[in-house]
Amino acid sequence: MKDGSIGPYRYPESRKTDHVDVIHGVKVPDPYRWLEEIDSDETRAWIDAQNELTFGYLGEVGARERIRRRMTELWDYEKFGVPHKEGGVYLFTRNDGLQNQSVLYCMGSLEEEPRALIDPNPLSEDGTIALTGTAVSDDGRLIAYGLSASGSDWQDWRIREIETGVDLEDHLKWVKFAAAQWTPDNLGFFYSRYEEPEQGKAYKEANFNQKICYHQVGSPQSEDEIVYERPDEPEWRFRSIVTDDKRFHLLSVNKGTARENGIFIRELGSGEEGFTELLNEFDAIYTFIGNEGDTFYFMTDLDAPMGRVISVDLNAPERENWREVVEETSDSLRAVSLVGGMFIATYVHDAYSRVKVYSMDGAYVRDVELPGLGNVMGFEGEHGDPETFYMFMSHLDPGAVYRYDVETDETTVFRRPKLRYDPGNYTTEQVFYSSKDGTRVPMFVSYRKGLERDGRNPAYLTGYGGFNIPSMPRFSVRNLLWMEMGGVYAQANLRGGGEYGKEWHEAGTKLRKQNVFDDFIAAAEWLIENRYTDTPHLAISGRSNGGLLAGACLVQRPDLYGVVLPIVGVLDMLRFEKFTVGRGWVSDYGSVDDPDEFKALLAYSPYHNAVPGTEYPPTLITTGDHDDRVFPAHSFKFAAAMQAAHAGAAPVLIRVDTKAGHGGGKPSAKLIEEYTDELAFIVENLGVEC
């Protein structure tokens, strides 16, 4: 080791090379390129040394054990998933409190005692195998289910008899971003997969050439039929849909993660092979809702930035024959289901949920009454179902799961967890502030009642701002514990997200990505100006695209924050296209191949903008060694660059979780450890008493 800072921290040596790329005539140094070889002996030794330093530091935080104990206490409550009905079987997940993974339960009716159907917990000693998806055959006899290990996006799929709980011999591999869709004869299902990666490259290699396959129950995967592939379009991704009436097989086709998609269709059992490209201009979002015979309903933002519902008749599919069913409103339309002969539409209004019911001809029927200002999930079902289910949660309460009778408008509680705290002791307010260019941006601010705005409260600010995803109210034990300790929790609703439709999203993409960082910096300044906190007591954080947010704001305004946590972040903006699914993010970030977009990417790329001699605030970078969504070398390289550039005494550390990925499917034990360490780092460096 060598002394890597002016302060007391002896950072592991990060070998610096003279590697330089020349991009559009610009020389771009990349001195830590070697850290992209994540399984090399040198990189593994570097990870071990960094973890030794980080966990040694965290182990000396006096409050860490108290935080862990209280986190575990608060975590220990029943957690329920939203039920849905397939093949005459009700399915829902339940976690008894501290189980590493939730268990899938089934029942034939709502009056029956639920029976455990799939329990991932015994599949690994450390709880790192997670259930990722399920699909029940129409006759209710078989369930196909996916599993992932160590947080990877890769899935293995198997088939289980529902009555006996016995698995068949079927085993499908190299499935990613896919779900099964059974055929009407119950003999098999459609799914999408990639080719097997080269040895040692499963967590690094870029993923191209996804294909739709058909698996017949009882046959080996090697005999699966390729139903559709497009080697001429290697970036295309497919999602299979079989209509409720079992007549049609649809493909929703996306170019990477671009929201604009196409819809291809074929009639099952017609004897005709191949798909008709029903919608193939990729000019808008087209989300299939359902069909009545040959009339198909789609949610779209075509000529409606906030979203609307249209119908397309297969007998006259030309655009001039399309009909508007539910018109655009001033709220952003996020989801529509066709249940009980009604459209149930979920909207985002100023970053919280509203739900409306419309008849099949588009006439407004009613609002679904919700418990308050929060976030709903669910409302799935089929055209003929009389009921549906949803969950409602807020920043302060994990909420309950409800059954909704579509015909009578009656809502009843399906399951409500018993909590170990009183949500009434806390409050959430929504504020609006002005960004650098004057744009009005909403933000949720939550805290314990009786908080005095003295300008010195510890505050935790987070955001996302990307990929048309709205930052909705969401309960977190970590955030609850933070508020219990007297902290302010703030969630900014930044441009680039989906809070206000297509225009809001596009205002934070590509050449306009800086708007997202300006929105977040303005949120921090607003919290300080309005005396919720001050710089020495302000922590900022973000995950994934939000990790990019935290990293970019760190290098742009290191003077503004007391602590920074970039979590599983995209941090090398000139190389993100090279790994796993990164090429798909060009829709939001732009591409190095474009000279103007390259210039914009280089201007904010956190890895390339760590300035030597700068005094940075305390920083904890986190990633997982099995993250095949955001390649972990993003965090490795950024940590090396930050430690080399840092001129202050504050710690700049990286925490590399082993047998962990991007976050999905992470066991409860690992989540408690991760959140404990994050809060321990924050309270130690903000001087929070707990």
Is residue 5 scored above 50 in pLDDT? no
Instruction: Calculate helix-pair angle for 545-556, 514-529, nearest 10 degrees.
Output: 70
In a domain, residue 312? The reply is no
Contact 660, 666 (CB under 8 A): yes
**SS3 labels along 351-399:** CEEEEEEECCCCCEEEECCCCCCCEEEECCCCCCCCEEEEEEECCCCCC
What percent of the chain is predicted at pLDDT more than 70?
97
Residue range 369-381: mean pLDDT, rounded: 95
**Residue 584, CA distances (Å) to 204, 237, 422, 578 in order:** 15, 9, 43, 10
Q: What per-residue confidence (pLDDT) applies to 666?
A: 83
Whole-number average pLDDT of the chain:
94
Q: What per-residue confidence (pLDDT) applies to 497?
A: 97
Q: What per-residue confidence (pLDDT) applies to 434?
A: 98
Q: What per-residue confidence (pLDDT) applies to 151?
A: 74
Residue range 26-49: mean pLDDT, rounded: 96
CATH of residue 609: 3.40.50.1820
Q: What per-residue confidence (pLDDT) applies to 588?
A: 96
Q: What per-residue confidence (pLDDT) applies to 580?
A: 83
Taking the chain, what is the end-to-end CA distance rounded to the nearest angstrom?
A: 34
**Tens digits of residue pLDDT in 224-238:** 999 999 999 999 999
Chain centroid offset of residue 608 CA: 26
Is residue 271 scored above 80 in pLDDT? no
Per-residue pLDDT band for 663 (boundaries 50, 70, 90) equals low
Chain centroid offset of residue 335 CA: 16
In a domain, residue 637? The reply is yes
Q: Give the number of domains in the chain.
A: 1
> Which of 47-61, 259-273, 395-409, 597-611 is predicted with the least confidence, judged by mean pLDDT?
259-273
Per-residue pLDDT band for 202 (boundaries 50, 70, 90) equals low
**Tens digits of residue pLDDT in 528-564:** 999 999 999 999 999 999 999 999 999 999 999 999 9
In a domain, residue 457? The reply is yes
**Tens digits of residue pLDDT in 95-145:** 999 999 999 999 999 999 999 999 999 999 999 899 999 999 999 999 999
For 450, residues 6+ apart whose C-beta sits below 8 A from its C-beta are: none
Is residue 71 scored above 90 in pLDDT? yes
Is residue 208 scored above 90 in pLDDT? no
Residue range 42-64: mean pLDDT, rounded: 96
In a domain, residue 578? The reply is yes
In a domain, residue 131? The reply is no
Contact 262, 255 (CB under 8 A): no
Q: Is the pTM of this model over 0.75?
A: yes
**Residue 76, CA distances (Å) to 343, 424, 562, 648 in order:** 37, 19, 31, 40
C-alpha span between 199 and 206 (Å, rounded): 14
Residue range 651-659: mean pLDDT, rounded: 91
Is residue 475 scored above 80 in pLDDT? yes
Q: What per-residue confidence (pLDDT) applies to 597?
A: 98
Contact 446, 466 (CB under 8 A): no
Tell me which residue of 550, 603, 628 sits closest to 197, measured CA to CA: 628
425 three-state secondary structure: helix
- ∠ CA(354), CA(357), CA(361), 5° rounding? 140
Per-residue pLDDT band for 269 (boundaries 50, 70, 90) equals confident
641 vs 625, more confident: 641
Residue range 409-415: mean pLDDT, rounded: 97
Residue range 18-27: mean pLDDT, rounded: 98
Structure tokens belonging to residue 379 = 């409302």
Contact 265, 228 (CB under 8 A): no
Q: How do 286-292 and 295-300 pair as beta strands? A: antiparallel
**Tens digits of residue pLDDT in 350-365:** 999 999 999 999 999 9
In a domain, residue 602? The reply is yes
In a domain, residue 31? The reply is yes
Per-residue pLDDT band for 630 (boundaries 50, 70, 90) equals confident
Residue 421 sits at φ, ψ, to 5 deg, of -155, 170
What percent of the chain is predicted at pLDDT more than 90?
88
Question: Which domain does 544 fall in, by range?
Answer: 20-73+421-686
Q: What per-residue confidence (pLDDT) applies to 200?
A: 73
Residue range 449-468: mean pLDDT, rounded: 97
> Which of 12-26, 621-635, 676-690 is predicted with the least confidence, judged by mean pLDDT?
621-635
Per-residue pLDDT band for 478 (boundaries 50, 70, 90) equals very high
Residues serving a catalytic function are 544, 662
For 620, residues 6+ apart whose C-beta sits below 8 A from its C-beta are: 54, 563, 564, 565, 651, 653, 654, 655, 677, 678, 681
Is residue 2 scored above 50 in pLDDT? no
Per-residue pLDDT band for 3 (boundaries 50, 70, 90) equals very low
Q: What per-residue confidence (pLDDT) applies to 168?
A: 98
